[in-house]
Structure 1
């Protein structure tokens, strides 16, 4: 019989009915080990095809969110050969080209909420794995290809077989005290739940390893220290743990937030050790509020920030939080008062750059200029992107490092994506700093910009049609704000330096026109080197100086500016924008107040800054005063400088705007004048078009005084004037019709009495209604059956015809109160009420209440749908009728102990149809521990709105209709319950049991090489769910001779194994194909027998 077997079978035999497609390995820690087809180090997923046939993933789905299983679909053919793997890059590129698959998402391993899942084209679950963080450049994968066990790989194996697997990382050490403020000292106990580990630590900010200090006893921290610890296991197959780290501030407290940084080479970087090596050290950060409470922490890399300021001893830096390192993906805090953004992967940390005190230009710095200008621009809502700022204290490796600023990074795709939905693949971003380069968008960015510059400078901009084309591509308001601000602060380091401009290309995003960002603004207010070559840095700098600069940076900003000034609309917008700002956010008072508020924040911290780095506190205050004096003087010199710049201008003139009536007018841009703040006074230039637009109210007409100086249409919504002198603008609005409030109430309150007012029923008292003067109101009471009408009472209005008429009326002339007086009727009465809805499967009754007046006992009867019921006598008041019968309930008769009374009211009982809960499991009622997942299909009947699933394993409820659930891979039984609720809020419940069993399987290799080279020298098996006492294994040669047999499965474990020798002679069997017979029973008692071939290769 054996001679009829196939001779060559070179595949791994896997006795199971489960899927042959697996997530085999993944890495979101791919910092610098595995490149995609773009040369980028992207997240990747390896998929293994364990079958004997190729599998095409065309139409399959892959996701990182289980609540969105169809997040990305393979759009075309992607074939994984038999017994091989395919790599999918999670780059966000959303493409499949030339065999390279890129999903529309990235994996963020430190979010703790992502699961990689694969589904087939009809959305049937295939495989999944919960994303767990790795340390930098490591991966997670199955122990070997297709194995059910997951492992850590210190050397990732994308695209090749999984080898070199390690167990899970050692448990991270635990500190007994958190980071923060401590007085005197802090005693730290370091623990670990694993008794087989050794803890090593450092206190100088460096990265600990097994050559660092070994922890044995509690540590006493006596000065501000960054404590770091790592755990090593005695088991060599367990990698070292993640590093725990905390900063303990001992007697160091501050009035502003604190940033603590540390790392092996961070000190070298901040000591100026960047040089030609481009040092970018790795390290940690901890972000604290001013009270020493830790807000967030993480690990990433540092790099140089600043050029001229890099020559100072106190240096700034850029920091990038790296999700690939396994600690955190962004610094999570709303750290900037001007923004609601609460996550930052990249931040800039500056020590005031060229305005640093004490290092800037012989100690001339105010330590505030750059942050001040950016913050001023944000608060003025200028049409640019600024680096948001927060002052902070920096500690490096536990040492105080001075007063710094946390700054938001603008020239970064995270910024544009968060605020404007323009990601890195949809940006054109140019930057000039000495030279010009393309930050995003490739060569087309420069080409598109050059074409726009050429169009503006080659076509007459006084032709409005040409200007409209420009406005379609260019945010001219951003250009105006950029030039106004840089002129106002007398920036001497722009255009050929520190200039960035960009636009978004995603049609579904925002900011699709070229706009400007602010960069370094420290060479301002007569401070720093004049790198741009502006005519003067003094307070008397001419506002039209930029027009004389030719083209610094050679990117066309000045030629564009000069060309656009020829357009009347642009020129008017420019001058009006200046005066809007000069009368508001850029007024002298506002600018000085803002400066004082920002200086007040850092003032308490400057003495220690100075004691650390040098200088004199009074000198610094003097520098701040110089800046304050410059700002105060600049306000006036800037304004008067516009007249000689532009001869067509006149004035400035006083503009008085008055609102008559109720309405609102907007003058120029966002200067709102209404009946609440009228009159308003402004200073404005003549020679430009000044618009006044009606924004709300019933507009009547304009008046302009003096009346003979202007020709205008008094009825237009937008009045436009070219000022000839001081002027008063009056906007007349038709006054609103006067109204009065009428308050309705009842005496006494607490009855069921209501009032119909002009046909509208009022049942809550007191109630206020507003009327136009002269309105007629008709009132009609709807009185409680136990009460009677008495009279109407008012404060001033006259009820017509008489206040003793139940139905009455009045004219509205005054604010007033109308009170309805009622009295309790002397006769007895029974009143029935209730309105209840039941579900047909509910085991409960509706409650109908009968209320009585009079003296007990009470005797009554009632009808249901017209059918009279038996008499009832009771002393209970109210009496409750418990019923499950649907219909209308009405009283028929009533009497108390003395007399017959009246009856009133009605009750209604409605019985609704209930749903029927039912479901089935696509996997049946039994699962294997190899695959403990099941799809559950709802088969319930009825108009169901809500499904609530309890899977019986203490997991959260699931509210989807057809859920998918995965149990722990251990044998167990569970009860799944389903509650369904329909549109009538009726419900039904059903249950079904499911069992997870330990299914059997066995792997039999098809070849081995017993040549004593220590590689594949023995034949061994892997198995599960087999009764070892039933095991039998025999091997025959091609002549059906028995050459090997065993009844003990342990003989074929990988610790023992068969060495390829004859069972009788113990001699080596020759290279050939041999036939095996294997038989055994599983734990359910079923017997299994199979045959195959083994190839001995020598």
Structure 2
């Protein structure tokens, strides 16, 4: 079979409009650098074709990339495709139709494997679809010619033009006999292809192979760590070369941390040129591959993309950092798919930073003074401490370049990236204002409005005194004061010498439905810290005793107003007190001496086993590196000792430092300042706080009754309001009194679902969830169950659930402490498929028409599911098969079942069939039998099995059509199975044969006794047996009679 047609039938089914209207004609998700949209961007696109003789307006039509959401993007206004014309739709995510340029609200990701382009008309009626398959860089997929039923690969696409130059599907990717990973000895690698007429080429130096590379003829012996890449070329010029496969074989190389193997073309402009070249290589963006392994050498993911420079001063080092961008447009992968960072849930990364500790590199930085940890340490510390900043998550790793060991690196999460803001805050690239200062300031996202909008805010603060609370409230509505406080506190604490005029990024989201809509700060390079590196910012002191208020003495580094804003905000009492309290919140937690040293020691312990080989490769000594780490450790200890006393010295509002004790009476929880939670389990709780600063308290849970403040200094406060603010003047004890309650634990089994429980109007979605509830309180529980699960029952250890445990919505009166658990069962998943693929068959599943297969859904175990196929006219019938769930209607094409188990139901279509017919009878002693006819479709010979009254008979093979059976066996005849010369077919119909008892002819003659001449006689039938007909011959050449008891007149008779 033609390869194009084969792929079409198997996986690229296009469903055409019954009305012959607009169809999908071509698409590209590999538009890396070929065709720009009206913004000058290389976006995905879909070409639509109007095969009719009249223009069609797509106003109200819908385009989608998800079967589950066919109306994902709707044309919001008129968009006309001329008769026999084509039009482009950009899949950019911009969600607009302006000036004839249509942009959907989604992008196409060709390497996910689960996207289907779907087109529906203004009535929501499906018109056309095509499954998205990967293309190589800058290739497209489209119909062979405009409107053709055959889909092809185009190595040179034709957006907004007639489809020309169709190619067959790519050659099959080469098959390696071994996969990437650790090997304790040399490997003999074989490479094969299932395709005919294929030539395989390969490389072992990281280069991308082509038909000038080494010809594969025999097994490759790999004795040292090597990256092997291979490609297949077909002798058929209409079959494009295959995708490249590649594997890194680590021969006698093992590590204690994850490994990143990178590779790319050698020579000028290649990957090695980028990472091992001169300063001129900084502008290179070579393409290449990555493979990500865990510490045991297990491959976690791989892909292709491009590398680029990362770092500036550190670019002078032999060991350089780099950025990597996975490119879905290349057709291999759309993101590095792994939970790389233990501090984050994210598991897909298109962009990553790979750093060799930057300016803290050992042995290259500042005369060998690096500890190889500073930047990652500060970011990790901020992240663990939950500072209100965006940090580059970190994971230490080993890098190999083209199979060569390249040293100890850090995989880092890129924060100045729209994928980051979109994942964590639902702010995509079209809804960002992102500014960055590194020597100069530029707009990363949001031009042209981002910089003017920021300038407007800076000017507002400059001309409107923040001591005025109304002005401050306005500023606070636009600017994240917590982020500003944490940014200045952290940089002051680590005595950063490289911020504000360098390495400073700040942003806000402008999507009203997203998070982080106020200006906030990100962390950038934090390697010039703890008295390491050059003082680019000009801070007054980089010693451990530098005053924490030093940032206020800076003028306006970078010219973006950060310090002027800071100083103006400090004039506001609320902001000032939040700042001072926040310092002590951090000083007693993540920025305490013990915690900071613990984090440093744990991070150093991770890279310590790997540093000897780093040093062997790049220079230095292990003792020298350990000495640098000790210097950093000692600086941190000295710095955290000096900070508290430094605040008292530099902030005149602080009067002293006092002890604050918080006690919880009863069951409840109080938050003091920011993040200090005191409850009945950790009470009493004592902390040190600055005097002269307003210290806030807030009840977070429990049935609050009143506050009690015990101090030698009287305070005026409202005891029954659940918030409390004290202008601290001395040591104080704050007691929070709560009423009697019982601890109730709410849980969901099994864990890990998206189920939530509404508890008296409050939705809870993290379990187990503990809540102190007042005795006697009536609680109503209303679950919102994960769509993949269904309700089973409730259980309770102590309290009585009403009306019963089998009711989905229940209530109870709090009497005892308890664990109340919602029990769910996972709904079975039913997958429907049609064999063969590529027909126009659809299935009405519970009344809903489904036309794209395979199709899956979850069902309740007690629901009856009905199936009614609409079979492609090219097929005669079909039969159902099921792996587990019984089909209730036997072999019927219209069937039903209960989905008790997860299952695959397959409808097998057939163009081959046999039909049995007949309704005949025969006497038991007859010479000729009754007739049963069997009609066939298909190619002879025909073989069938039949049953008589349910008893299977021997198979019969014939070339006669129809085939007639002469039989004297009575009963109900049905076909059991049938196959022609090529395949099994369907069977239908039935025949009936009735066996009659042989008759015995008997009759009485009853003449007319009153007549003398021409007497008439009746012959009265007295026969026995199953008589079906009569035929009388009177022997006088008169006409025969066919009635059962005839009358006959004999002309010559006498009475």
**TM-score normalised by length of structure 1:** 0.68
Structure 1 CA distance, aligned partners of 2:443 and 2:690?
Answer: 40
Aligned with residue 537 of structure 1, among 530, 534, 542: 542
Structure 1 CA distance, aligned partners of 2:431 and 2:715?
Answer: 50
Aligned to 2:319: 314
Aligned to 2:101: 100
Deviation of residue 679 (structure 1)?
A: 2.2
Aligned to 2:532: 527
Deviation of residue 161 (structure 1)?
A: 1.6
Given the alignment of the two structures, is residue 354 of structure 1 paired with residue 392 of structure 2, yes or no? no
Given the alignment of the two structures, is residue 332 of structure 1 paired with residue 332 of structure 2, yes or no? no
Aligned to 2:484: 479
- SS of 1:66 mapped into structure 2: coil
Change (3 A) 1:965 1:616: farther
Given the alignment of the two structures, is residue 435 of structure 1 paired with residue 434 of structure 2, yes or no? no
- SS of 1:390 mapped into structure 2: strand
Aligned with residue 721 of structure 1, among 714, 719, 726: 726
Query: Does the 8 A contact of 2:551 with 2:563 survive in 1?
Result: yes
Deviation of residue 160 (structure 1)?
A: 1.8
Query: Does the 8 A contact of 1:225 with 1:248 survive in 2?
Result: yes
Structure 1 CA distance, aligned partners of 2:282 and 2:560?
Answer: 31
Structure 2 CA distance, aligned partners of 1:475 and 1:952?
Answer: 48
Query: Does the 8 A contact of 2:63 with 2:74 survive in 1?
Result: yes
Aligned with residue 590 of structure 1, among 580, 588, 595: 595
Deviation of residue 948 (structure 1)?
A: 9.1
The total of aligned residue pairs comes to: 792
Aligned to 1:933: 840
Query: Does the 8 A contact of 2:437 with 2:558 survive in 1?
Result: yes
Task: Give runs of aligned pairs for residues 819-968 of structure 1, distance below 5 A.
Answer: 932-933=839-840
Change (3 A) 1:996 1:440: farther
Query: Does the 8 A contact of 1:659 with 1:678 survive in 2?
Result: yes
Q: Deviations over 1:702-727 (max 9, x none)?
A: 44443345444444433322222333
Query: Does the 8 A contact of 2:309 with 2:322 survive in 1?
Result: yes
Change (3 A) 1:164 1:671: same
Deviation of residue 772 (structure 1)?
A: 12
Task: Give runs of aligned pairs for residues 987-1006 of structure 1, distance below 5 A.
Answer: none
Aligned to 2:735: 730
Note the aligned Cα RMSD (angstroms). 3.4
Change (3 A) 1:738 1:433: closer
Task: Give runs of aligned pairs for residues 592-611 of structure 1, distance below 5 A.
Answer: 592-611=597-616
Q: Which runs of 5+ in 2 are unaligned?
A: 1-15, 745-771, 777-814, 818-833, 881-892, 913-1055
Change (3 A) 1:44 1:953: closer
Given the alignment of the two structures, is residue 559 of structure 1 paired with residue 564 of structure 2, yes or no? yes
Structure 1 CA distance, aligned partners of 2:612 and 2:136?
Answer: 41
Structure 2 CA distance, aligned partners of 1:642 and 1:112?
Answer: 57
Change (3 A) 1:302 1:538: same
Change (3 A) 1:967 1:676: same
Aligned to 2:59: 58
Aligned to 1:678: 683
Deviation of residue 445 (structure 1)?
A: 1.1
- SS of 1:650 mapped into structure 2: coil
Aligned to 1:626: 631
- SS of 1:460 mapped into structure 2: coil
Q: Deviations over 1:709-755 (max 9, x none)?
A: 5444444433322222333333444566999xxxxxxxxxxxxxxxx
Task: Give runs of aligned pairs for residues 278-317 of structure 1, distance below 5 A.
Answer: 278-317=283-322
Structure 2 CA distance, aligned partners of 1:385 and 1:814?
Answer: 44
Structure 1 CA distance, aligned partners of 2:906 and 2:483?
Answer: 64
Aligned to 1:151: 152
Query: Does the 8 A contact of 1:935 with 1:962 survive in 2?
Result: no
Change (3 A) 1:49 1:948: closer
Query: Does the 8 A contact of 1:933 with 1:964 survive in 2?
Result: no
Query: Does the 8 A contact of 2:842 with 2:851 survive in 1?
Result: no
Structure 1 CA distance, aligned partners of 2:642 and 2:609?
Answer: 33
Deviation of residue 979 (structure 1)?
A: 4.8
Change (3 A) 1:553 1:950: closer
Structure 2 CA distance, aligned partners of 1:19 and 1:542?
Answer: 77
Query: Does the 8 A contact of 1:63 with 1:117 survive in 2?
Result: yes
Deviation of residue 962 (structure 1)?
A: 11
Structure 1 CA distance, aligned partners of 2:246 and 2:742?
Answer: 70
Aligned to 1:640: 645
Structure 2 CA distance, aligned partners of 1:305 and 1:93?
Answer: 29
Q: Deviations over 1:617-675 (max 9, x none)?
A: 01101100111101111111111111121112122222233334443332211212223
- SS of 2:166 mapped into structure 1: coil
Aligned with residue 974 of structure 1, among 878, 894, 903: 878
Change (3 A) 1:949 1:425: closer
Deviation of residue 65 (structure 1)?
A: 1.5
Aligned to 1:1025: none
Aligned to 1:867: none
Task: Give runs of aligned pairs for residues 53-132 of structure 1, distance below 5 A.
Answer: 53-132=54-133
Change (3 A) 1:155 1:590: same
Aligned to 1:746: none
Deviation of residue 216 (structure 1)?
A: 1.0
Deviation of residue 436 (structure 1)?
A: 0.6
Query: Does the 8 A contact of 1:376 with 1:594 survive in 2?
Result: yes
**TM-score normalised by length of structure 2:** 0.71
Given the alignment of the two structures, is residue 490 of structure 1 paired with residue 495 of structure 2, yes or no? yes
Given the alignment of the two structures, is residue 49 of structure 1 paired with residue 54 of structure 2, yes or no? no
Query: Does the 8 A contact of 2:842 with 2:870 survive in 1?
Result: no
Structure 2 CA distance, aligned partners of 1:164 and 1:585?
Answer: 63
Aligned to 2:921: none
Query: Does the 8 A contact of 1:949 with 1:978 survive in 2?
Result: no
Aligned to 1:669: 674
Aligned with residue 511 of structure 1, among 516, 520, 525: 516
Deviation of residue 693 (structure 1)?
A: 2.8
Structure 2 CA distance, aligned partners of 1:422 and 1:619?
Answer: 45
Aligned to 2:389: 384
Deviation of residue 165 (structure 1)?
A: 1.4
Change (3 A) 1:426 1:346: same
Query: Does the 8 A contact of 1:949 with 1:958 survive in 2?
Result: no
Aligned to 1:649: 654
Deviation of residue 96 (structure 1)?
A: 1.6
Structure 2 CA distance, aligned partners of 1:285 and 1:967?
Answer: 47
Structure 2 CA distance, aligned partners of 1:435 and 1:954?
Answer: 54
Query: Does the 8 A contact of 1:28 with 1:108 survive in 2?
Result: yes
Deviation of residue 478 (structure 1)?
A: 0.5
- SS of 1:432 mapped into structure 2: strand
Change (3 A) 1:174 1:651: same
Structure 1 CA distance, aligned partners of 2:849 and 2:125?
Answer: 20
Q: Deviations over 1:93-123 (max 9, x none)?
A: 1122222211111110001111112222222
Structure 2 CA distance, aligned partners of 1:967 and 1:169?
Answer: 32
Query: Does the 8 A contact of 2:117 with 2:131 survive in 1?
Result: yes
Aligned to 2:237: 236
Task: Give runs of aligned pairs for residues 171-182 of structure 1, distance below 5 A.
Answer: 171-182=172-183
Deviation of residue 541 (structure 1)?
A: 0.8
- SS of 1:404 mapped into structure 2: strand
Query: Does the 8 A contact of 1:935 with 1:963 survive in 2?
Result: no
Structure 1 CA distance, aligned partners of 2:57 and 2:775?
Answer: 79
Deviation of residue 34 (structure 1)?
A: 0.9
Structure 1 CA distance, aligned partners of 2:908 and 2:702?
Answer: 69
Change (3 A) 1:955 1:554: closer
- SS of 2:250 mapped into structure 1: strand
Query: Does the 8 A contact of 2:152 with 2:166 survive in 1?
Result: yes
Change (3 A) 1:772 1:527: closer
Change (3 A) 1:933 1:62: farther
Given the alignment of the two structures, is residue 220 of structure 1 paired with residue 127 of structure 2, yes or no? no
